[in-house]
Copies of this chain bind each other. A is one copy, B any other.
Amino acid sequence: MSGLIIQKYGGTSVSNINRIKKVAERIVRTRKTGVDVVVVVSAMAGETDKLLDMVRQISPSPKRREVDLLLSSGERISSALLSIALDNIGCPSISMTGRQIGLLTDGAHTRARIKQIDTERAKQVLKNKHVIVVAGFQGINERGDVTTLGRGGSDTSAVALAVALGAEKCEIYTDVDGVFTADPNIVPDARKLDRVSYDEMLEMASLGAQVLQIRCVEFCKKNNLPLIVKSSLADDSTGTLICEEDPNMEQPVVSGIMSDKNQAKITIKGVPDQPGIASSIFTALADESLSVDMIIQNISAEGQTDISFTLAQADMGEAMTIVKRVATEIKAKKVDSDSTICKVSIVGAGMRSHPGVASKMFEALSRENINIMMISTSEIRVSCVIDEKYAELAVRVLHDAFHLESESAESGISDGAQSA
Interface residues of chain A, those whose CB is within 8 Å of chain B, are 17, 20-21, 51, 54-55, 57-59, 62-63, 65-67, 69-70, 72-73, 76-77, 79-81, 83-85, 87-88, 94-95, 97, 99-100, 144-146
Please state if B76 and A95 are interface contacts (CB–CB under 8 Å).
no
Q: Which residues of B contact A59 (CB under 8 A)?
A: 84-85, 87-88
Please state if A80 and B66 are interface contacts (CB–CB under 8 Å).
yes
Tell me, rounded to whole Å, the shortest Cβ–Cβ distance linking A31 to chain B. 18
Please state if B66 and A70 are interface contacts (CB–CB under 8 Å).
no
Q: Which of A65, A69, A76 has the most CB of B within 10 A?
A: A69
Q: Which residues of B contact A95 (CB under 8 A)?
A: 65-66, 69
Knowing A57-B17, A58-B17 are in contact, say whether A144-B69 is a contact too (CB < 8 A).
no
Knowing A73-B76, A76-B70 are in contact, say whether A21-B65 is a contact too (CB < 8 A).
no
Q: From the candidates B72, B77, B145, name the one contacting A70 in the complex (CB within 8 A).
A: B77
Number of copies of this kind of chain in the complex: 2
Q: With A and B bound together, what is the CA distance between A20 and B55 in angstroms?
A: 11
Q: With A and B bound together, what is the CA distance between A65 and B85 in angstroms?
A: 13
Q: Which residues of B contact A99 (CB under 8 A)?
A: 144
Q: Which residues of B contact A51 (CB under 8 A)?
A: 77
Q: With A and B bound together, what is the CA distance between A57 and B21 in angstroms?
A: 10
Please state if A87 and B100 are interface contacts (CB–CB under 8 Å).
no
Q: Which residues of B contact A54 (CB under 8 A)?
A: 17, 81
Main secondary structure of the interface of A (DSSP, over half): helix
Please state if B69 and A80 are interface contacts (CB–CB under 8 Å).
yes
Please state if B57 and A80 are interface contacts (CB–CB under 8 Å).
no
Q: From the candidates B20, B79, B145, name the one contacting A58 in the complex (CB within 8 A).
A: B20
Please state if A55 and B69 are interface contacts (CB–CB under 8 Å).
no
Please state if B100 and A145 are interface contacts (CB–CB under 8 Å).
yes
7 contacts between A and B (CB under 8 A): A17-B58, A59-B84, A59-B88, A62-B87, A65-B94, A70-B81, A97-B146
Tell me, rounded to whole Å, the shortest Cβ–Cβ distance linking A225 to chain B. 28
Q: With A and B bound together, what is the CA distance between A220 and B274 in angstroms?
A: 78
Q: Which residues of B contact A84 (CB under 8 A)?
A: 55, 58-59, 62-63, 66-67, 70
Q: Which residues of B contact A21 (CB under 8 A)?
A: 58
Q: With A and B bound together, what is the CA distance between A55 and B17 in angstroms?
A: 9
For A69, the closest partner residue in chain B by CB is B80
Q: Which residues of B contact A83 (CB under 8 A)?
A: 63, 66
Please state if A88 and B58 are interface contacts (CB–CB under 8 Å).
yes
Tell me, rounded to whole Å, the shortest Cβ–Cβ distance linking A172 to chain B. 24
Q: Which residues of B contact A146 (CB under 8 A)?
A: 97
Q: Which residues of B contact A55 (CB under 8 A)?
A: 81, 84
Please state if A79 and B69 are interface contacts (CB–CB under 8 Å).
yes
Q: With A and B bound together, what is the CA distance between A69 and B58 in angstroms?
A: 26
Tell me, rounded to whole Å, the shortest Cβ–Cβ distance linking A255 to chain B. 40
For A144, the closest partner residue in chain B by CB is B100
For A21, the closest partner residue in chain B by CB is B58
Tell me, rounded to whole Å, the shortest Cβ–Cβ distance linking A275 to chain B. 47
Tell me, rounded to whole Å, the shortest Cβ–Cβ distance linking A63 to chain B. 6
Q: With A and B bound together, what is the CA distance between A145 and B97 in angstroms?
A: 9
Tell me, rounded to whole Å, the shortest Cβ–Cβ distance linking A344 to chain B. 41
Q: With A and B bound together, what is the CA distance between A275 and B81 in angstroms?
A: 51
Q: With A and B bound together, what is the CA distance between A146 and B98 in angstroms?
A: 13
Please state if B77 and A58 are interface contacts (CB–CB under 8 Å).
no
Please state if A58 and B73 are interface contacts (CB–CB under 8 Å).
no
For A135, the closest partner residue in chain B by CB is B69
Tell me, rounded to whole Å, the shortest Cβ–Cβ distance linking A71 to chain B. 9
Knowing A21-B58, A57-B17 are in contact, say whether A63-B77 is a contact too (CB < 8 A).
no
Tell me, rounded to whole Å, the shortest Cβ–Cβ distance linking A303 to chain B. 52
With A66-B80, A66-B87, A67-B80 given, can you name 4 additional A-B contacts, CB distance below 8 Å?
A59-B84, A62-B88, A69-B76, A100-B145
